[in-house]
Amino acid sequence: MGPAASAGPDEGSEMAAKPEDMGRWSEPGLLVLSSLASGEKHGYAMVSDIVEMAGVHLGPGTLYGALSRLEDQGLIEALPAEGRRRPYRLTGAGASALREQLTTVAKVAETGLSRLRAGGAPA
């Protein structure tokens, strides 16, 4: 192994990957829908809520891309602008989609945690 190479997990590396180094764990659309589940919000309020809820900061491009896709899918709707701020709210279809998605995520989390408790992964 040359000086620029690093040891992989099978070569004695003791370092565990940090969650932030393991790729994207959160879908922006799911975060936006979850934020709007508590009521209408404008962009900055969603970003703040998502940071508090999930520890994820969505940049403007990511946020407004997700808002555009969700609006096109009929899952959220834009409300009349309040000055420079445009609030959004969840639609009935959005609430149903969010409920379904969160039920799936909860099942995956429950299964994974159960398997970890049962000793399915090294400590």
Whether 10 is in a domain gets the answer no
Residue 76's contacts (CB-CB under 8 Å, 6 or more residues apart) are: 32, 33, 36, 67, 70, 88, 89, 90, 91, 94
Round to whole Å and give the CA distance between 25 and 119: 23
Q: Could you tell me the residue range of the domain that residue 104 belongs to?
A: 25-116
Whether 8 is in a domain gets the answer no
Of 78, 79, 73, 70, nearest to 32 (Cα)?
70
Whether 63 is in a domain gets the answer yes
| pTM of the entire predicted model | 0.77
Whether 111 is in a domain gets the answer yes
- pLDDT (tens digit per residue) in 34-59: 999 999 999 999 999 999 999 999 99
- pLDDT greater than 70 at residue 15: no
Of the pLDDT bands very low, low, confident and very high (cuts 50, 70, 90), residue 7 is very low
Whether 15 is in a domain gets the answer no
Provide the pLDDT for residue 20: 53
Where residue 108 sits, what CATH number does that domain have?
Answer: 1.10.10.10
User: Looking at the 3D structure of the chain, how many domains does it have?
Assistant: 1
Whether 7 is in a domain gets the answer no
- pLDDT greater than 70 at residue 115: yes
Provide the pLDDT for residue 119: 87
DSSP one-letter string for 36-105? HTTS-B-HHHHHHHHHHHHS-PPPHHHHHHHHHHHHHTTSEEEPPPBTTB--EEE-HHHHHHHHHHHHHH
- pLDDT (tens digit per residue) in 83-111: 999 999 999 999 999 999 999 999 999 99
Mean pLDDT of 11-20: 50
Whether 89 is in a domain gets the answer yes
- The proportion of the chain whose per-residue pLDDT surpasses 70, expressed as a percent, equals 76
Whether 1 is in a domain gets the answer no
